[in-house]
């Protein structure tokens, strides 16, 4: 049984989340807290497995509490964020501090809004209970690995897919990529508005230029293109020698839009052997089958290993299906991408 503690200053939200979570046979809400100080005492008394944590609270905000929690008593946390630009930036910061995932609550009609996300909330609390959590001070300050300089193949294109735990994993990979890296397309499961904040954050800390992808945007080396959250699928297209982004409206694929499956399938058909596919931590199976089609088309394919994944759902499904030619810890993936993209690794036949 998963023991959950709900931390929110709204009595309505506390009641709604309690009702939603207790509909699941394997989740018990052991308590609620109206602010971080109350939560601190309830954590000591009740020893919960998972915390749901509001961002905007009196006396101490959720970000400050999360930072202290992850330093002193790390545990799985699912953030409860508002669907606003400010809420998106705070949520991205919370994920970087160690929160496992987040759910959104609307500013209006909260009761209906949260109930419509009931299945997602339950799934994310379950995933958080299984997730790996480390101290925030253990994650910070690690020196970047120095990868050998290699001649990068100009025709290569990289596609990365991720979900739960992916924002931190993607950052770890991109921080190690040189400015001369091939273009990178990314699908990370996010709601509308959050991908722009994610791209802005990455752009400030990575050598490559990072932006939210636009329809028809030309794809260039040294640039990273992130699929707009919750709106359209991101695909790779080609006109002669030029690659471009295509944003396409459509049904949910593998229960997601944007879907990693859609991105990887476009990579298989458009880039073929010039593609590099990377599937990182995430809940579910999105991207696993299409990574196999990328590999069949001649692309290099990489999956994150179980030990370094927050949730080994998507990469695990790819590994079990034989879609990944290499299974690596997150700290080795950037180097493997650079190796696969270099002219030397292509000519040496290391596949």
CA angle 26, 188, 217 (to 5 degrees): 160
Residue 233: active-site member: no
Average pLDDT (266-288) is 97
CB 278 within 8 A of CB 326: no
DSSP run (H or E) holding 271: none
Per-residue pLDDT tens for 23-34?
A: 999 999 999 999
For residue 240, the model assigns a pLDDT of 87
**Confidence class for position 87, pLDDT limits 50, 70, 90:** confident
User: CA–CA separation, 226 vs 293, rounded Å?
Assistant: 22
Complete DSSP assignment for 173-235: HHHTS-TTSPPEEEEE---TTHHHHHHHHHHTTSSSEEEE--TTPBP-TTEEEEPPTTT-EEE
Mean of the per-residue pLDDT values of the chain:
90
Q: What is the pLDDT of residues 162-200, one digit of tens each?
A: 999 999 999 999 999 999 999 999 999 998 889 999 999
Annotated catalytic residue 163: yes
pLDDT interval class at 82 (50, 70, 90): confident
The single residue of 35, 101, 189, 300 carrying the catalytic annotation is 189
* Arithmetic mean of pLDDT, 54-77: 94
State how far the Cα of 54 lies from the Cα of 78, in Å rounded to an integer: 9
Structural domains present in the chain: 2-138 (3.40.50.2300), 157-348 (3.40.50.180)
Read off φ and ψ for residue 337, nearest 5 degrees: -65, -45
Active-site residue flag, 209? no
- What's the pLDDT score for residue 146? 52
pLDDT band at 135 (very low <50, low <70, confident <90, very high): low
Residue among 286, 300, 309, 342 flagged as catalytic: 286
Taking the C-alpha atoms of residue 289 and residue 308, their distance in angstroms, rounded to an integer, is 21
Active-site position among 136, 163, 195, 259? 163
Give the pLDDT mean for 272-287.
Answer: 96
Kindly tell me if the per-residue pLDDT of 150 is higher than 50: no
pLDDT tier, 349 (very low <50, low <70, confident <90, very high otherwise): very low
The SS3 call for residue 7 is strand
């Amino acid at each position: 049984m998963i023991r959950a503690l709900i931390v929110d200053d709204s009595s309505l939200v506390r009641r709604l989340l309690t009702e939603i979570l207790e509909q699941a046979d394997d989740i018990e809400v052991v308590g609620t807290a109206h602010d971080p100080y109350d939560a601190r005492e309830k954590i000591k008394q009740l020893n919960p497995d998972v915390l749901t944590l509001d961002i905007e609270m009196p006396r101490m905000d959720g970000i400050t509490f999360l930072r202290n929690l992850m330093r002193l008593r790390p545990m799985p946390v699912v953030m409860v964020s508002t669907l606003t630009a400010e809420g998106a930036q705070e949520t991205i910061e919370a994920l970087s501090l160690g929160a496992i995932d987040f759910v959104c609550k609307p500013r209006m009609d909260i009761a209906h809004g949260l109930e419509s996300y009931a299945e997602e909330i339950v799934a994310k609390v379950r995933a958080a209970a299984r997730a790996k959590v480390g101290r925030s001070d253990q994650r910070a300050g690690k020196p970047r690995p120095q990868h050998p300089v290699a001649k990068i193949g100009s025709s290569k294109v990289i596609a990365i897919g991720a979900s739960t735990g992916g924002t931190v994993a993607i950052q770890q990979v991109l921080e190690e990529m040189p400015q001369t890296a091939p273009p990178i397309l990314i699908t990370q499961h996010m709601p509308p508005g959050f991908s722009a904040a994610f791209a802005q954050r990455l752009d400030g800390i990575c050598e490559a230029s990072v932006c939210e992808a636009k329809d028809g945007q030309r794809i260039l080396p040294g640039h990273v293109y992130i699929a707009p959250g919750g709106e359209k699928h991101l695909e790779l297209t080609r006109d002669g020698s030029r690659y471009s982004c295509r944003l396409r409206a459509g049904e949910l694929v593998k229960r997601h839009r944007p879907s990693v499956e859609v991105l990887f399938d476009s990579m298989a058909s458009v880039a073929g052997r010039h593609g590099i596919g990377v599937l990182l931590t995430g809940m579910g199976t999105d991207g696993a089958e299409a990574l196999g089609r990328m590999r069949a088309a001649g692309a290099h394919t990489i999956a994150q290993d179980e030990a370094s994944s927050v949730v080994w759902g998507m990469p695990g499904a790819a590994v079990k299906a034989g879609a990944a030619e290499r299974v690596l810890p997150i700290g080795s993936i950037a180097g493997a991408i650079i190796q696969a993209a270099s002219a030397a690794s292509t000519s040496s036949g290391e596949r």
